[in-house]
Amino acid sequence: MSLIDNIIRPEVRALAAYHVPDASGFVKLDAMENPYHLPEDLRTELGQRLADVALNRYPVPSYSRLKEKIRSKLGVPQGYDVVLGNGSDELISMLSVACARPGAKVLAPTPGFVMYAMSAKFAGLEFVGVPLKPDFSLDKAAMLAAIAEHKPVITYLAYPNNPTGNLYDAGDMEDIARAVGDAGVVVIDEAYQPFAEASFMERVPAFPNMIVMRTVSKLGLAGIRLGYMTAQADLLQEFDKVRPPYNVNVLTQAAAEFVLDHVDVLDAQAAALRTERSRLAQALSAIDGVEVFPSAANFLLVRLQSGRHPADKVFAGLVERKVLIKNVGKMHPLLENCLRITVSTPEENKLFLDALAASLASSSSTHP
């Protein structure tokens, strides 16, 4: 046996690394980023703030000032604290590590965010995926049956879901939380909340097993890598035990504290993207052979008519024209011949639509 065989767990060896393609020179519409910069005056002020940060010192691990700004600016229920992470990815990892009892399982609807399954496997947990219905709504009966059978320690419900973009029925989600009960936690992942204008945050006090998890990435701060989650105090205390003591760096802390004082700017950008989402959806819906699914996020999922426009060929045509989106057709059977497009500025959306029209024409003319 080789060194790798001797030291690396088989389930890790079987995994593929999370791949992020090089987007240099592309119109980048594959990662749900906010395309807008901060206004020039705020960028100048932020630059000075960051220049004054003591890079020679570790962060103060309580992060009390940053937490207070998050609680006051982002709608955390009165009296509730938050745990911070290096993006929501680290929060998911912390949940997995804390709950990794022998034989424990993680459950989530599929297709969904791939890190739920990957993080579970990293921690030695079994992942159970429950397929959505063909319209991407929750199959509540199947979810409740899976909960009864597997008794998951963590159940993830993304609100809205990635890559489908839809909001699940809130009543179904509450029924699922009640069914899980004391056997596990239910994590409401609200990464795209700025574009959904819907949230479970205010419901947290009513559900002792509920965690609401968010990130500032989609709000316009993807580069600083900051996530946060809230829940009952006793739950948060346990998850905080597995948080690395300096997991949020001083530059992230300073940038987040500054920008949260100007969260109205980010809210206005989110509103502009919601408007562009409607325009882009309307434009795509007008194209023959393209089905657009309803979205409450900052991206749109579309299905191409497979007999006329193979998604792989259309995606390749977009890449040739220097437009990068996400080809999700191989992620799950329900996503066959589907593409996911980040909503961007009017200018970038037009570049995408022009490239799409050319790619569709090319794929149609070459497809037998």
Span 256-308, pLDDT tens digits: 999 999 999 999 999 999 999 999 999 999 999 999 999 999 999 999 997 78
Rounded to two decimals, the pTM is 0.94
Tell whether 45 is covered by a domain.
no
**Domain enclosing residue 23, as ranges:** 3-37+265-366
What integer best gives the mean pLDDT of the chain?
Answer: 95
Tell whether 42 is covered by a domain.
no
Is 16's pLDDT higher than 90?
Answer: no
Tell whether 43 is covered by a domain.
no
pLDDT average, residue stretch 120-149: 97
What is the count of structural domains for the chain?
A: 2
Q: What is the pLDDT of residue 153?
A: 98
More confident residue, 90 or 1: 90
Query: What's the CATH code of the domain at 284?
Result: 3.90.1150.10
Q: What is the pLDDT of residue 198?
A: 95
Are 25 and 86 in a shared domain?
Answer: no
In the chain, what percentage of residues exceed pLDDT 70? 99
Tell whether 330 is covered by a domain.
yes
Q: Which two tokens stand for residue 325?
A: 């989106």
**Nearest CA among 145, 235, 133, 223 for reference residue 187:** 235
Is 244's pLDDT higher than 60?
Answer: yes
Domain end (from 223, 244, 261) = 261
Q: What is the pLDDT of residue 365?
A: 54
Are 253 and 271 in a shared domain?
Answer: no
pLDDT average, residue stretch 91-116: 97
Is 340's pLDDT higher than 80?
Answer: yes
Domain end (from 228, 261, 294) = 261
Are 114 and 62 in a shared domain?
Answer: yes
pLDDT average, residue stretch 237-264: 96
Q: Which of 127-136, 206-215, 306-315 has the lowest mean pLDDT?
A: 306-315
pLDDT average, residue stretch 128-135: 98
Domain end (from 261, 296, 315) = 261
Are 176 and 71 in a shared domain?
Answer: yes
Say how far apart CA 210 and CA 212 lie, in whole Å. Answer: 7
Is 366's pLDDT higher than 60?
Answer: no
In the chain, what percentage of residues exceed pLDDT 90? 89
Are 20 and 159 in a shared domain?
Answer: no
Is 249's pLDDT higher than 80?
Answer: yes
Q: What is the pLDDT of residue 363?
A: 75
Q: Read off the pLDDT band of 197 (50, 70, 90).
A: confident
Query: What's the CATH code of the domain at 104?
Result: 3.40.640.10
Phi, psi (5° rounding) for residue 338? -105, 150
Are 72 and 211 in a shared domain?
Answer: yes
Q: What is the pLDDT of residue 19?
A: 72
